[in-house]
Amino acid sequence: MTLQTTSPIFLGMPSFQKAAKDALRNTQQRRNLAHATSTIRAKRAAVVGEVDRWEELRVAGADAKDEVLHHLPHYLEQLEANLVANGATVHWARDADEANRIVLDLVRATGSDEVVKVKSMATQEIELNERLEEAGIHAWETDLAELIVQLGHDRPSHILVPAIHRNRAEIREIFRREMGGVGRPAPDDLTDEPARLAEAARAHLREKFLRARVAISGANFAIADTGTLVVVESEGNGRMCLTLPETLISVVGVEKVLPTFADLGTFLQLLPRSSTGERMNPYTSMWTGVREGDGPQDVHVVLLDNGRSHVLADDLGRQALRCIRCSACLNVCPVYERAGGHAYGSVYPGPIGAVLNPQLRGTGSDVDKSLPYASSLCGACFEACPVRIDIPSLLVHLRTQVVDEASGRSPEALSMKAAAWMFADHRRLEAAQRGATLGSRLLGDRTVRSLPGLGAWTQARDVPSPPPETFRQWWARTHGYDVEEAP
Amino acid sequence: MSAREEILGRLRAATTEVTTPVGHRGPAPVIGVPSPGAGETLELFAENVADYRASVTRCRPEEVGTVVAGLLDRAGARSVVVPDGLEASWVAAAREAGVELVPDSGADGALLTAAELDAVSAVVTAARVGIATTGTVVLDHEPDQGRRALTLVPDQHVCVVRADQVVHDVPDAVALLEPRRPLTWISGPSATSDIELDRVEGVHGPRTLDVVIVG
Ligand code: SF4
């Protein structure tokens, strides 16, 4: 059996504008996307319309997330204590590398050379599959769309439906060509009927589920006051992974915490209606550590920072961490619908990706510098967002940062030389953060009115001032070197 | 510094400007639709379960056995897994009709393996809660429902819900559930929207979901 190569890494992506121009020439993909997003927009509108108190739910969702984000250490410690009390082992990972190392060691300890995976944005973000494959461990994606992406040696282009850029005929071709190489082949008479395609996936993956000893998942929610993890899905592949293997490893971003179990009463209304446009998704699994005689007995949770603490430090930008990855903002975005997901150069495409990628990765690369401009600021994303993330304002906020860094005149740029020294020690770090906050307060009401080369937009509007910590400072802090010196 | 200390330190440093105390928000607000009456709630439940292509049958308590046997027969089930705590009368008629009953724990106490489960046609269980606004049944995997694998691997799931277990909206269900038990929320049979964002029933979980409402 050959090792599968999944999503090639997003390094060296051109700017969004360049990639989008190329994508626009792909008329097949554009047609696929327009069809899919218009279908989902109509479904979402119908089921959201059924809920009279939708706006109240949105506010409650935002409040619950803000409560957690304002006191994240408290809620994480509570979550950890409840997980441990219920038999789970908790690991902490500062960055992608550390998370991958932890997972790899856990898998190796089981002696297994394969894992089954539930779709998880966090593991895509840290490129776990690639790391496992390098170490000779097969990582089988079991979500239908992820399977299509993996078998097609492709990259995901949507949060919810990573293969949204593929139509049924293309999927049939991929299944017929690739399934046999990695397990049970597709039947010879496979048609492009969605039901037949789903059946082929069922047969192909069943043998893998039945023999799997290790599963890797993410979590949609992690409940602080009980230690419960929640996975929301449709196909049952999640249930297979969460139930049948002996070992379960869940990689969970630190922002996934909800304060109480009762908050699920809000989020299980917001998420399904916003994402697949259903009153409820077919399956939701909740588990609290280990249950004797039922499901995995060796349960691990890896709590992942990987830039989130940086996002948190910006008190405006922080709201992006409320995101529950429903993908509603993608489906309503006119820019996404035309450019497609690949142009965003990340596992997080669309409006939220345009915000999160530069927030998480810094604005060192062409694509991350250009992403805050991948929007017409029409506001549809904010309207659709179930946790009221003001994406247009965040994009404006990020544009300022890109501009300041490009000018090289910013106080942040000047202070970079000292950064390594400051961040080498946590007391100096705290002093520096206070200083940076002070600096941005001093900038106060400064606005940027006209910027050469950045088009007409800034001529029409003012741009607000930068956040307490800059991306470069963050980059230096988390990577140990200046963005300019990137190896 | 350990990763744990460092991450907690970074998060603390990132929120130094926050002045509100922990728990400032107060308890989670309960935002749902109150039941307009037990009859209406039950009607809505039946309607929404059926809307996602599960079958719905309503019957009196003494009819459950016959209804279950009929549903198994319709799907062509030859064998059925029986959770250890299932009401025996629910599967008595099916046994008489020739369906093989497979208990989860054998004489030696060993549970069925995944492969053994895969060879069984169907499973019959009770439920913990039904939710009307979404057409959802929630299992908490107590002995009358069995461990999670039982309702996952066989291709047909017959789920018996008592009328008095059906609540109106999602927050009502959340309030009733015990989070320390594993919980499975089921809304219709296994489905996917991954091909052109159109819902197709039948991927990895049971492709047939039959909900029986009793009372
Ligand atoms: S930003 Fe809002 S709309 Fe977009 S994926 Fe996140 S939660 Fe959904």
Q: Which domains does chain B have, with CATH numbers?
A: 37-214 (3.40.50.10420)
For residue A364, the model assigns a pLDDT of 81
Asked whether residue A37 falls in the same domain as residue A173, the answer is yes
Q: Per-residue pLDDT for A51 more than 50?
A: yes
For residue A408, the model assigns a pLDDT of 60
- Residue A193: inside a domain, yes or no? yes
| Residue whose CA is at the smallest distance from ligand 1 atom 8 | A326
For residue A292, the model assigns a pLDDT of 94
For residue A476, the model assigns a pLDDT of 60
Q: Per-residue pLDDT for A152 more than 80?
A: yes
For residue A123, the model assigns a pLDDT of 95
For residue A481, the model assigns a pLDDT of 55
pLDDT level of residue A486 (50, 70, 90 thresholds): very low
The mean pLDDT value for A146-157 works out to: 89
The residue type found at A90 is V
For residue A437, the model assigns a pLDDT of 36
Q: What is the CATH number of the domain that holds A131?
A: 3.40.50.10420
For residue A400, the model assigns a pLDDT of 86
| Phi, psi torsion values for A143, nearest 5 degrees | -70, 140
**Disruptive mutation site among A70, A97, A302 for chain B (greatest number of B CBs within 10 Å):** A70
Q: Is A323 in the pocket of ligand 1 (CB under 6 A)?
A: yes
- Residue A315: inside a domain, yes or no? no
Q: Per-residue pLDDT for A252 more than 90?
A: yes
Q: Per-residue pLDDT for A448 more than 50?
A: no
User: How far off is chain B from A224, nearest CA to CA, in Å?
Assistant: 12
Whole-number Å distance between alpha carbons of A343 and A21 = 9
| B192:A36 CB<8 A | no
Q: Does A173 contact chain B (CB < 8 Å)?
A: no
What digits encode the pLDDT tens for the residues A192-240?
A: 999 899 999 999 999 999 999 999 999 999 999 999 999 999 999 999 9
Q: Per-residue pLDDT for A484 more than 70?
A: no
What digits encode the pLDDT tens for the residues A319-328?
A: 999 999 999 9
- Residue A477: inside a domain, yes or no? yes
> Does ipTM top 0.95?
yes
| Residue whose CA is at the smallest distance from ligand 1 atom 7 | A323
Q: Is A325 in the pocket of ligand 1 (CB under 6 A)?
A: yes
The model's pTM is 0.86
Whole-number Å distance between alpha carbons of B6 and A428 = 14
For residue A109, the model assigns a pLDDT of 97
The residue type found at A89 is T
- Residue A295: inside a domain, yes or no? yes
User: How far off is chain B from A451, nearest CA to CA, in Å?
Assistant: 30
Interface of B with A in 100-119 (CB under 8 A): 111, 114-115, 118
Neighbours of A406 (CB within 10 A): 16
Q: Does A297 contact chain B (CB < 8 Å)?
A: no
Instruction: Choose between B107 and A322: higher pLDDT.
Output: A322
Helix/strand/coil (H/E/C) assignment for every residue in chain A: CCCCCCCCCCCCCCCHHHHHHHHHCCHHHHHHHHHHHHHHHHHHHHHHHCCCCHHHHHHHHHHHHHHHHHCHHHHHHHHHHHHHHCCCEEEEECCHHHHHHHHHHHHHHHCCCEEEECCCHHHHHCCHHHHHHHCCCEEEECCHHHHHHHHCCCCCCCCCCCCCCCCHHHHHHHHHHHHHHHCCCCCCCCCCCHHHHHHHHHHHHHHHHHHCCEEEECCCEEECCCCEEEEEECCCHHHHHHHCCCEEEEEEEHHHEECCHHHHHHHHHHHHHHHCCCCCCCEEEEEECCECCECCCEEEEEEECCCHHHHHHCCCHHHHHHCCCCCHHHHCCHHHHHHCCHHHCCCCCHHHHHHHHHHHHCCCCHHHHHHHHCCCCCCHHHHHCCCCCCHHHHHHHHHHHHHHHHHCCCHHHHHHHHHHHHHCCHHHHHHHHHHHHHHHHHHCCCCECCCCCCCCHHHHCCECCCCCCCHHHHHHHHHCCCHHHCC
Whole-number Å distance between alpha carbons of A299 and A219 = 13
Task: Tell me the residue range of the domain where A34 lies.
Answer: 28-310
Whole-number Å distance between alpha carbons of A157 and A149 = 9
Q: Does A263 contact chain B (CB < 8 Å)?
A: yes
The mean pLDDT value for A286-309 works out to: 97
The residue type found at A364 is G
B68 close to B212: Cβ distance less than 8 angstroms: yes
For residue A130, the model assigns a pLDDT of 94
A271 close to A435: Cβ distance less than 8 angstroms: no
Q: Which of A65, A270, A326, A346 to mutate to test the pocket of ligand 1 (most atoms within 8 A of CB)?
A: A326
For residue A104, the model assigns a pLDDT of 98
Question: To 10 degrees, the CA torsion angle through A84, A88, A93, A99?
Answer: 180
What digits encode the pLDDT tens for the residues A349-386?
A: 999 999 999 899 888 888 888 888 888 899 999 999 99
Give the mean pLDDT of chain A.
Answer: 83
Whole-number Å distance between alpha carbons of A434 and A210 = 54
Q: Does B131 contact chain A (CB < 8 Å)?
A: yes
Q: Is A389 in the pocket of ligand 1 (CB under 6 A)?
A: yes
Q: Is A385 in the pocket of ligand 1 (CB under 6 A)?
A: yes
A381 close to A392: Cβ distance less than 8 angstroms: yes
DSSP output for chain B: --HHHHHHHHHHHHTTT--SPTTTT-SPP---PPPS-HHHHHHHHHHHHHHTT-EEEEE-GGGHHHHHHHHHHHTT--EEEE-TTS-THHHHHHHHTTPEEEESB-TTSPBPPHHHHHT--EEEE--SEEETTTTEEEE---TTT--GGGGTSSSEEEEEEEGGGEESSHHHHHHH--TTS-EEEE-SSSEE-TTTT--EE-SSS-SEEEEEEE-
Whole-number Å distance between alpha carbons of A99 and A122 = 10
The mean pLDDT value for A38-66 works out to: 96
| A239:B118 CB<8 A | no
For residue A17, the model assigns a pLDDT of 78
pLDDT level of residue A267 (50, 70, 90 thresholds): very high
Q: Per-residue pLDDT for A416 more than 90?
A: no
Q: Is A384 in the pocket of ligand 1 (CB under 6 A)?
A: yes
The mean pLDDT value for A59-71 works out to: 98
| A67:B24 CB<8 A | yes
Q: Is A60 in the pocket of ligand 1 (CB under 6 A)?
A: no
- Chain B positions touching A194 (Cβ under 8 A) are 192, 195-196, 198, 200
Per the structure block, which two tokens stand in for A206?
């069943």
A223 close to B179: Cβ distance less than 8 angstroms: yes
Domain boundary among A310, A340, A356: A310
- Residue A275: inside a domain, yes or no? yes
Domain boundary among A310, A327, A355: A310
- When divided into structural domains, chain A yields a total of 2
Q: Which of B10, B136, B193 sits opposite A276 (nearest CB)?
A: B193
Instruction: Choose between A29 and A125: higher pLDDT.
Output: A125
Q: How far is the CA of A465 from the centre of ligand 1 (A)?
A: 25
Task: Please report, rounded to a whole number, the percentage of residues in chain A having pLDDT higher than 70.
Answer: 80
What digits encode the pLDDT tens for the residues B51-76?
A: 988 999 999 999 999 999 999 999 99
- Residue A354: inside a domain, yes or no? no
Q: Per-residue pLDDT for A480 more than 60?
A: no
Q: b vs e for B115-144, b when ≥16 Cβ sit within 10 Å of the residue's Cβ?
A: eebbebbbbbbbbbbbbbbbbbbbbbbeeb
| A57:B204 CB<8 A | no
- Residue A153: inside a domain, yes or no? yes
Q: How far is the CA of B54 from the centre of ligand 1 (A)?
A: 30
Task: Please report, rounded to a whole number, the percentage of residues in chain B having pLDDT higher than 90.
Answer: 88
| B204:A309 CB<8 A | no
Q: Does B130 contact chain A (CB < 8 Å)?
A: no
For residue A465, the model assigns a pLDDT of 40
Per the structure block, which two tokens stand in for A115?
């894992």
CA angle A153, A159, A163 (to 5 degrees): 35
Domain boundary among A258, A291, A310: A310
Neighbours of A251 (CB within 10 A): 28
Asked whether residue A306 falls in the same domain as residue A442, the answer is no
C-alpha separations of A421 from A424, A428, B10, B14 in Å:
5, 8, 17, 19
| Residue whose CA is at the smallest distance from ligand 1 atom 4 | A329
- Residue A421: inside a domain, yes or no? no
Q: Per-residue pLDDT for A464 more than 50?
A: no
- Chain B positions touching A293 (Cβ under 8 A) are 111, 147
